[in-house]
Amino acid sequence: MVNERAVRPEHVHQLIRILRGHKVILDSDIAGLYGVPTKALNRAVTRNLDRFPTDFMFILNPKEEKNLRYQIGTSRSDHGGRRYAVRAFTEQGVAMLSSILRSKRAVKVNIAIMRAFVRIREILTSHKVLARRLDALEHKYDVQFRSVFEAIRQLMIPPEKKKRRIGF
């Protein structure tokens, strides 16, 4: 029986990252969702490389891997960590994985991942629609409401993470 909690779109949503302007999921994260070792997932992909063009999957360069290590704490290869390059799968690449991984768990995981990608797309679209409506309202009403619209725009901007000071 497949564990339903492990493949919820809300959980998958947290694993999606932006790299090179694409929404992607890393090979180790996908392998964790499938419940297989990353090495096994990558071996299956390597056997079917013709199914994964660069817009479906790409290999991270050393600079991207270094940034990733700082962001999420992956280990360095010289300290017992990964000894091969990290692969990043786009939405189309994840869909293609379903053609080479056919277990019941893989099917459920792929469904959850697709739902997470769709949800992100909906969120991004709704922000664009909201911004357009705000522009229309701003043009419709006079100058006295301009400060109200500016305040609303400031609220739409995601907050920046504040750096904590160390020491006194």
Amino acid at position 7, single letter: V
Per the structure, the count of domains in the chain is: 1
Residue 155 forms part of a structural domain: no
pLDDT digits (tens), the chain, 168 positions: 344 445 665 677 788 888 888 889 999 888 888 888 999 899 999 999 999 999 999 999 888 888 776 665 554 544 445 667 899 999 889 888 877 877 777 778 878 888 888 887 787 777 777 777 777 766 666 555 666 667 777 777 766 666 666 665
Residue 125 buriedness (CB in 10 A; 0-12 / 13-18 / 19+): exposed
Give every CB contact of residue 64 below 8 A, 6+ residues apart in sequence. Answer: 19, 20, 86
- What is the three-class DSSP state of 63? helix
Instruction: Tell me, yes or no, whether 71 lies in a domain.
Output: yes
Would residue 53 count as lying in a domain?
A: yes
Whether 154 is in a domain gets the answer no
- How high is the pLDDT of residue 19? 87
